[in-house]
Chain A
Amino acid sequence: MSHASVSDSSAPAPWTDAAPSSGGSPRSAGALLRALVMPVVFAAFATYLLVGMLVMDVPDSVDFPGPRFFPAIITGVIYVLVVVQIITVVRHWSSGTLGDTDDAAPAIFSWRSLIWVIGGFLAFSLLLEFLGWILGAALLFWCVARGFGSKRPLVSLIIGLTVSSVAYIAFDMALGLSLPSGILGGGF
């Protein structure tokens, strides 16, 4: 971890790291794409269900409303709703009223924060069992605080380590939940 190298770098203020999101005008292609993100996600999910139903092994002995019955209804409903939603979005887009609906672009969107928070959590998930709870959670804390525009990395690190240690004492030692001790636990 290279917290030392960034501790003195001039961390940007939370206001400057966020550029006003592009594609603000309701007729731009960016606005259309943004409004179509959710329909596409849902369509992908429905397709996952569809494929799952096709590869499922169902013995002939199973009575009529079998394991595919309910998922089939859900999949069909999702596809229909996705089509309706896409039509709605495209109609709003072509009439220039997309900005009036809920799918208006937020005034400011910080990609930098998005990457810090998601990246931090991803690293935490993958490294937790190796690093152990105290280091892993402190890393997560530090990344998220950074994503929220925290300007003092060293302070964040100390607070993060305190939070993770207190959580370890309270939940692992006192309440008996099981948290990994990792490299600090001497498990090598």
Chain B
Amino acid sequence: METLSLLMEGFAGALTWQNLFWVVLGCFLGTAVGVMPGLGSSMAVALLLPVTFALEPTAAFIMFSGVYFGGLFGDSTMGILMNTPGQASAIASTFEGHKMALDGRAPQALATAAIGAFVGGFIASGVVVFLAPFLAEFSTQFGPAEFFALALFAFMATSSVVTDSAVKGLLSLAFGLGIAVVGIDGVTGIPRFTMDSPFLFDGISLVTVTVAVLALGEVIYFATIARFQREGQMIRSKGRPWLSKKELREAAPAWARGTAIGLPFGVVPAGGSEIPTFLAYGAERKLDRRRHDPQFGKGAIRGLAAPEAAGNSTTGMAMGALLALGLPISATAAIMLAAFRQYGLQPGPLLFERAPDLVWALLASFFIAMVVLLIINLPFAMVWAKLLLIPRHYLYAGITVFCGLGIYATSGSSFDLLLLLGVGIVGFLMRMHDYPLAPLIIGMVLGPLAETSLRDALISADGDASVLVQGPIALTLYGLLAIVLLVTLRSKITSRTKRDT
């Protein structure tokens, strides 16, 4: 098998002392940020993005994957112990997970979550290894019209599916697209919306916007509003975090089902692992109701196992979609895409040909990250919870300093710091008024791709718009998009009528 030998070479590349150090460091940092209540994995990745530019690409991405997965592990730890999920994707596992902890089964809950995340992530990484080359091969058939359809799919799905108000989601998206058009036009070389300021000729840096929206805006939000909201008490976990044979038998099918539910969502640009975690939770609850002795509501181990596995299997697959198609399905994946670009690499079909060392070392490091995370999370969850002892004001002050550090180090100008502040304030206002932030990031990352492919397609067809809806791939994508939107609309209407009656 060619894939296996490539993967083995990847392991050889990833298992050097240096790279091993970066993946372990990434896992530690990711878990640490994920454990902090209110801080999720996307904030961790955003904060670390500028700093990794000091590293060479392979090391940087290996560290990133550790941070990404580590954040997911950490998110659920706090969701279980404190009922404060760090990220939307950890909400579904909090329901039953926290009840288990209240019931005195915190160690079992932590173990179920950690093993579930491990199983989901490990299987997904395995699927990615074999699927990604095919996906990359397939996407070489994509022309401008297909890429435009793909971008449009990502735009519509992220801004309408997950969010409560489609108008707010679309506004956030359009804002991101608007930020992305500032700077010199890639096709004609004409400066756009720069007010003749040389600071804006290169456009507004995605790094600046990401850090502003996901980190600085969050700090302002926490300082002015969130820190006054009541917080749950942390439940202490006593005893060895291990599962009895009975519990393992109980959880195993749920891990498997969760993983299966999560996998396909990794290639659907619909906002990441939020939907699959809820779907997995819902499926387990339905199955549970048919049993003699329903467990849901009393701390059902399956209600925790399935969403954990689903969340990580989606995340793992999402990395595959990112590498093979260049398609980010969540804000975190969008940041990773930005990081690739910063190194002059364009994820997508060509990446496998141009930088095979990096791709395979990165894929191998997913497996290593999973093992490292299982080791540092399973027995030591309560050690991580000690991080909560850091006083909140120093923690957030440190985060703010880190924002400034990252942006100044990458841009070297005070102008970018002011831009960071300005966008951060907008991000804070959006957060306060419940505007989703992921569409903004995705719009900014995929905006240039959408614009160039749209214009290329139109120019090559002399302005004939029908070129956009020709070809089986583009038509399939639009068909899928229509189905996704209809299903969303239906579920929104039914949930509204349910609420009213």
Residues of A within 8 A of B (CB): 14-15, 18, 35, 37-38, 41-42, 45-46, 48-49, 52, 56-58, 62-67, 69-71, 74-75, 77-78, 81-82, 84-85, 88, 102-103, 106-111, 113-114, 116-118, 120-122, 124-126, 128-129, 133, 137, 140-142, 144-150, 156, 159-160, 163-164, 167, 171, 175-180
Contacts and interface: CB of A to CB of B under 8 A. Distances in A.
A112 to B, nearest CB: 9
Contact of B405 (A38, A113, A114, A171): A171
A48 B193 contact: yes
Given A148-B392, A179-B408, A103 B434 contact: yes
Q: Which 6 A-B pairs have the closest CB atoms?
A: A148-B393, A102-B434, A125-B417, A52-B193, A177-B409, A144-B397
B190 A163 contact: no
A106 B220 CA distance: 14
Contact of B181 (A70, A103, A167): A70
Interface string B391-412: 1111011101110110011001
B167 A81 contact: yes
A35 B414 CA distance: 32
Given A65-B459, A140-B400, A38 B178 contact: no
B167 A125 contact: no
A107 B30 CA distance: 32
Contacts of A175: 51, 54-55
Contacts of B421: 118, 121-122, 125
11 contacts: A18-B228, A37-B433, A46-B178, A64-B463, A67-B190, A70-B455, A102-B434, A121-B417, A126-B418, A150-B394, A180-B408
A14 B393 CA distance: 10
Q: How large is the interface on B (under 10, 10 to 19, 20 to 34, 35 or more residues)?
A: 35 or more
B397 A108 contact: no
Given A64-B458, A156-B397, A167-B401, 13 more contacts: A14-B227, A38-B429, A52-B192, A52-B195, A56-B190, A64-B462, A67-B192, A70-B177, A70-B455, A114-B220, A117-B400, A144-B219, A148-B393
B170 interface: yes
B398 A163 contact: yes
B5 interface: no
A148 to B, nearest CB: 3
A37 B429 CA distance: 8
A117 B220 contact: yes
A178 B409 contact: yes
Contacts of B181: 49, 70-71, 74
A49 B54 CA distance: 35
A85 B169 CA distance: 11
Contacts of B475: none
B252 interface: no
A81 B398 contact: no
B404 to A, nearest CB: 6
B225 interface: yes
Nearest to A39: B171
A65 B458 contact: yes
B175 A42 contact: yes
Nearest to B418: A125
B224 A144 contact: no
A77 B171 CA distance: 8
Contacts of B425: 118
Interface residues of B, dominant DSSP: helix
A69 B51 CA distance: 36
Contact of B433 (A69, A103, A107): A103
Given A125-B414, A148-B396, A177-B409, A163 B171 contact: no
B165 A144 contact: no
B193 A71 contact: yes
Contacts of A77: 170, 174
Contacts of A120: 400
A150 B292 CA distance: 54
A148 B223 contact: yes
B192 A167 contact: no
Nearest to B225: A106
A15 B429 CA distance: 22
A57 B398 contact: no
Contacts of A85: 167-168, 171
Contact of B187 (A67, A164, A177): A67
B69 interface: no
A148 B219 CA distance: 10
Contacts of A111: 224
A1 B425 CA distance: 25
Nearest to A155: B394
Given A49-B178, A137-B404, A144-B400, A108 B426 contact: no
Most B Cβ at <10 Å: residue of A75, A84, A117, A171 = A117
Interface string B205-229: 0000000000010011011110111
Most B Cβ at <10 Å: residue of A18, A102, A133 = A102
A69 B225 CA distance: 40
B51 A150 contact: no
Contacts of A117: 219-220, 223-224, 400
B192 A56 contact: yes
A65 B229 CA distance: 50
Nearest to B413: A129
A22 to B, nearest CB: 15
A177 to B, nearest CB: 4
Contacts of B454: 65, 69-70
B357 interface: no
A161 to B, nearest CB: 11
A38 B392 contact: no
A164 B401 contact: yes
A82 B400 contact: no
B171 A150 contact: no
B171 A110 contact: no
Given A67-B188, A84-B167, A144-B219, A113 B224 contact: yes
A41 to B, nearest CB: 6
Contact of A113 (B185, B223, B459): B223
B426 A41 contact: yes
Nearest to B419: A125
Contact of A148 (B225, B397, B429, B451): B397
Nearest to B450: A70
B459 A171 contact: no
